[in-house]
Structure 1
Amino acid sequence: MPRQFHDPESLFEPAPLLRRLLAMLYDGLICIAVLILATWGYTMFVAWIIGFDKYLEMAEAGAFNRDPMLTSVLFVILYLFFAYFWTRTGQTLGMQVWRIRIENYDGSSISWTQALKRYMAAYVSWIPAGLGYLWLLWDPRRETWPDKFSGTQVVAVPAPPKPAKNGKSPN
């Protein structure tokens, strides 16, 4: 069941390009750590299956330099990482820091299918020198290719209200 982030009548501004790119940079650093751990786990599993001595011999011979199975596993793990955050809270850790969120146009959380479409479109968006993301500079709705392809939007989340100095709420 989709989570409702805010009232559908409340419209949030589209997230600016700089915030999106900074969140991507932040998340990219986290992804490096995730990929290192996943590669280690994959390597240990494969070595356990074929035997550590045999694995070491094959690795030294360069047999694993281009392992399509490892590439596929890492691709799926990254999808699961992003889709988990996007479908649950609409924000990865980097998006939380830069106060942006992915949501449907009615303010609800996106589905796993939409997350997959966004994830695939993100790769395609970087191929022509990042044009898929720069597209929001010319788009009247300030949407990127992943936004358009998945039917989602990335919005700037307003800062929470600061508590009053006397300890009472500002309301």
Structure 2
Amino acid sequence: MSGAAAPTGELRAPGLRRRLAAFVYEGVLLFGVLMISGYLFSSLTQQRHALIGRHGLQAFLFVVLGVYFVWFWTHGGQTVAMKAWHLRLVDAEGLAVSQRRALVRYLLSWLWFLPALALVYASGLRSVGTIFGVLLVGVLAYALASRLHPSRQFLHDTLCGTRLIDARAD
């Protein structure tokens, strides 16, 4: 798939609402993926308490998410949620994304959460509701920042040379 020709249609960026809807839908789908993966990890490691081995579990789930996204992005450019919302990931020229570029995008996509998480950590917040609120505001601010980009792309896409396009324009 990496040698596919560039699409002949215009590479339009989808609207922010559609991208955020796909983001939320992806979260719903990933809940199941992470539950099954967490169960597998705890079964294989004989984990009896959630706090024992939690760093290993977190690392395992980080890898599971990476495999999930890299595989889907390099095999058609769409996760299940992206298919449902007619979004496709391509490189800057409109070609299929390589594994390396998909991996870099996965790592950089954590920019959605890292500034808010750093703020939570630095401020010492402990209330779950407040933490959730800070994360929500951080994610929305990150999403709205895409409106400042000339082609309405997210920062992580700009940094790694990828872009989300409207798949209905294919």
What is the TM-score of this pair, normalised by structure 1?
0.77
Counting matched residue pairs gives: 147
Letter in 1 for 2:11: F
Q: Determine which of 109, 113, 117 is the counterpart of 2:96.
A: 109
Letter in 1 for 2:107: M
- Deviation sequence 1:67-105 (CA, Å, 0-9, x none): 111100000000100111101110011110110100012
Distance 1:17 1:63, change over 3 A: closer
Distance 2:169 2:93 in 1: 20
Cα RMSD for the two superposed structures: 2.1
Tell me by how many angstroms 1:5 deviates.
Answer: 6.4
Distance 1:159 1:105, change over 3 A: closer
34-43 or 150-159, larger mean C-alpha shift = 150-159
Matched, 1:152 2:162: yes
Aligned partner of 1:2 in structure 2 is 2
- Deviation sequence 1:110-158 (CA, Å, 0-9, x none): 1122112211222113335123332211111211111112100100112
Distance 1:5 1:84, change over 3 A: farther
Matched, 1:123 2:122: no
Aligned partner of 2:36 in structure 1 is 37
Aligned partner of 2:123 in structure 1 is none
Question: What SS does the aligned partner of 2:94 have?
Answer: coil
Distance 1:42 1:99 in 2: 33
Distance 2:57 2:36 in 1: 12
The residue correspondences of 1:40-119 to structure 2 (distance < 5 A) are 40-47=39-46, 56=48, 59=49, 64=52, 67-119=54-106
| Identical columns (%) | 26
What is the TM-score of this pair, normalised by structure 2?
0.78
Distance 1:119 1:134 in 2: 20
Distance 1:108 1:15, change over 3 A: same
Please say if residues 9 and 169 of structure 2, whose CA atoms lie closer than 8 Å, have aligned partners that are also in contact.
Answer: no
Structure whose residues are more often helix by fraction: 2
Consecutive unaligned residues of structure 2, counting only runs of 5 or more, are: 117-137
Please say if residues 4 and 107 of structure 1, whose CA atoms lie closer than 8 Å, have aligned partners that are also in contact.
Answer: no
Please say if residues 11 and 169 of structure 2, whose CA atoms lie closer than 8 Å, have aligned partners that are also in contact.
Answer: no
Distance 1:18 1:63 in 2: 37
Letter in 2 for 1:154: L
Question: Could you say which structure has the larger radius of gyration?
Answer: 1
- Greater RCO, CA 8 A, separation 6+: 2
